[in-house]
Structure 1
């Protein structure tokens, strides 16, 4: 009679004493030095009234052109349990002096209350994908007790918002940090206070504001200033700025773990071969052991990303087997490599590669190489301008001619004023500069690019790459293609 009851017993843990709600009125008022009006609990935190769902806490932030207090009624209509405001309103709320400062204070309280291992991720290329892969690995091994910043919430608003959403029961937190000026990551890492700080790579993104790759490396290395005592810095061994990053990490008191194919890498690539159905089979040396795993995402850059993920997961005390499974299952993200089969009228399909969220010289080259390695009846590239390159823009855009040629692109559509430098480079040898039977066109905006693509026609067996800086608006081209399939 007693055996069944022993089987049903569940071991208790200290975290069982923690509340299930994300926040309640008392804890919110205490954290933000505000006054709670009403009794309530919240399950989420939101700053955009359009995204509010039932049970959320809505922050009425004030910007240069918009005051979030205008949207308090909408937030309540959509089910907000309470709002954070700097003036009294009808309905449950926390009254504070400054809503932006209140969000930072709530982020600080969330970071302090969670007994979690925290990983911070930055880099010129690949930080969102690496962040997602690290999260997937840690979430699997912790049985759902991992938390991360969603989308690209990596700036002065996105980071505190992401922290404020971290539950008290979280075991692992993964946060992305971005920048386009020196000093920005210093402020973000002070909030995140990571135990593991990851730099994916250094490339000439935002070089307009920083002036050189060395300055970019220094700005990314600011992440080490927030490392907790005894923390680990994960850095790219193959980068020409490796020594610079290593010295910055050591100066911050970090343990340094490097990844890559260089002989001195701590997580070192031994072999990588194409996997059936796409992706790669990777063998890596971790010093005390070797691991073999599959990377579902195609491209050589994802082989390097996977080594970074393995290094970060090991440094955080995670499970490497779970990391391998996460990498094997992880699909491309919207705007960052998502692949969609488009049904074609009359039969067959075309492949759409969505890289519309961001672009810089390094990621353009990597993605074009990936396009060149993809089997296709025709390779079509819709490439948008790369922003924030300043005086370097002409040379970097013109230099894309070489990887386009190497990828054997059949049809090229260029979008944005900066792309005129590439058009001029390709025009030096006439329309056939990309090879026999190729064509290229230069458009001023995304809508014109879509028209050019429609005029060209999408046929069965085509592979269409859409990539550019987010401000170019090529996401609309992706959406239109997906909507018009068939």
Structure 2
């Protein structure tokens, strides 16, 4: 493998001292996934990474980035000693960005950051060497880690930038030194930390502070807070490219055709018609994909090739992947499962329900003879004082009458359970484990089941319970986020 960091370069970037020469082929913060030859970064989080340095070296780490020599580690072990490990990781990230000629895009938004990042990985991969995080590494350590892992020969980099509190996005965007910034959407999320959706919009707009001179802002034109985003771009003297369905958007959606397995989009690119398909159902995918195509053009890519390559994208695991759970191998009968148990807020919940509503159950194969659409919905967290109203509002989602049963998990979801028509009410439980234990009673052959909730609601336990009912077939290339 190619060397990513030599000891002298890493020491120069961080101002640290290398106890002996090393050559690292990667950067890791977790001994469980560390591969031989990588630089282990001893971050302090829930645990102190210094406690795992010995294990990392025993596993073959090229060296460890530390602020002290850990107990049980020899003084002549391969170490890069710095005053502060997180600050040193940030310095590595900045140095990696500075030494590459890559064009870098930063993505933020209340919904769709990870899926849009993966769309761009597919699109840009057809036109150059792409670097992007493998997971949702979008916080104060995830962004510098992603940058520090960037090979020098990278041509395009896609950096996901998230936030939980005011003031988090701008420093990360400046660290990434962006050529293009994209804001997927602004929606009620993290309202515990913000006074209003307008406050969230201003924080999202701060990603534009990280754009280089001449950088491009790719912004959602359809949201109510679009004027806040555009005003920020204008104040910084940046070119703003608007995408969406509203009249006047440079990249404008004309129609979206949603089927059980795909989304077909007719759009206009500054007056020129374009047609593209995403192999996953969901109206939100149309907007995210159109925004991704606008980003690709802003990065200098061929838009026609990009429109073809957007179809290579498939959703990350746990974010709406559709899979077949086979219950009877002889008869090849079972049910379909949408696993969207990673994250939830009102916008992503609406998008997931749209996909469930568009999906077609299979009739004539189960005990009930009629396949059903079923939702298992867990609490949406961090919504602040409006949380009860926002949960209850799901009952008014357009087309929700097509969902036969809605099971609700968690104290916040009781507001939805009470707002539902009696015929649609499934079970309400305090914890996901209660429902997971009765997974078999929830479904029948031919059903389509959506499981959606914030990670803290632990509705992934219900996903696990449903998967244990059969042998999962190959995932279908479909998703909800």
TM-score scaled to structure 2, two decimals?
0.91
2:6 corresponds to 1:24? yes
- Give 1:2-13 correspondences, 5 Å limit: none
2:351 corresponds to 1:351? no
Partner of 1:211 in structure 2? 195
Is the Cα contact below 8 Å between 2:253 and 2:268 reproduced in 1? yes
Partner of 2:358 in structure 1? 373
Identify the structure with bigger relative contact order (alpha carbons < 8 Å, sequence gap 6+).
Answer: 2
2:279 corresponds to 1:296? yes
1:209 deviates by 1.2
Which of 303, 310, 319 is matched with 1:320 structurally? 303
| Counterparts of 1:137 and 1:155, CA distance in 2 | 24
1:477 deviates by 2.4
1:79 deviates by 2.0
Is the Cα contact below 8 Å between 2:339 and 2:463 reproduced in 1? yes
Partner of 1:230 in structure 2? 214
Is the Cα contact below 8 Å between 2:190 and 2:383 reproduced in 1? yes
Is the Cα contact below 8 Å between 1:284 and 1:292 reproduced in 2? yes
| Counterparts of 1:480 and 1:359, CA distance in 2 | 20
Gaps of 5+ in 2: 362-370, 472-481
User: Bigger shift: 32-41 or 124-133?
Assistant: 32-41
Partner of 2:64 in structure 1? 83
Is the Cα contact below 8 Å between 1:85 and 1:99 reproduced in 2? yes
Which of 295, 301, 309 is matched with 2:292 structurally? 309
Is the Cα contact below 8 Å between 1:138 and 1:319 reproduced in 2? no
| Counterparts of 1:404 and 1:268, CA distance in 2 | 23
Shift in alpha-carbon separation, 1:404–1:449, aligned structure 2, 3 A: farther
Structure 1: 4+ residue segments shifted above 4 A: none
2:378 corresponds to 1:384? yes
| Counterparts of 1:234 and 1:331, CA distance in 2 | 22
Is the Cα contact below 8 Å between 1:282 and 1:292 reproduced in 2? yes
Partner of 2:415 in structure 1? 421
Partner of 1:478 in structure 2? 463
- Give 1:185-224 correspondences, 5 Å limit: 185-224=169-208
Which of 131, 148, 162 is matched with 1:164 structurally? 148
1:160 deviates by 0.5
Which of 328, 345, 348 is matched with 1:363 structurally? 348
1:96 deviates by 1.1
Over aligned residue pairs, what C-alpha RMSD do you find?
Answer: 1.7
| Counterparts of 2:151 and 2:348, CA distance in 1 | 34
Is the Cα contact below 8 Å between 1:352 and 1:463 reproduced in 2? yes
Partner of 1:265 in structure 2? 249
Shift in alpha-carbon separation, 1:480–1:40, aligned structure 2, 3 A: farther
| Counterparts of 1:365 and 1:331, CA distance in 2 | 20
TM-score scaled to structure 1, two decimals?
0.90
Is the Cα contact below 8 Å between 2:439 and 2:465 reproduced in 1? no
Is the Cα contact below 8 Å between 1:373 and 1:407 reproduced in 2? no
| Counterparts of 1:133 and 1:72, CA distance in 2 | 36
Partner of 1:130 in structure 2? 116
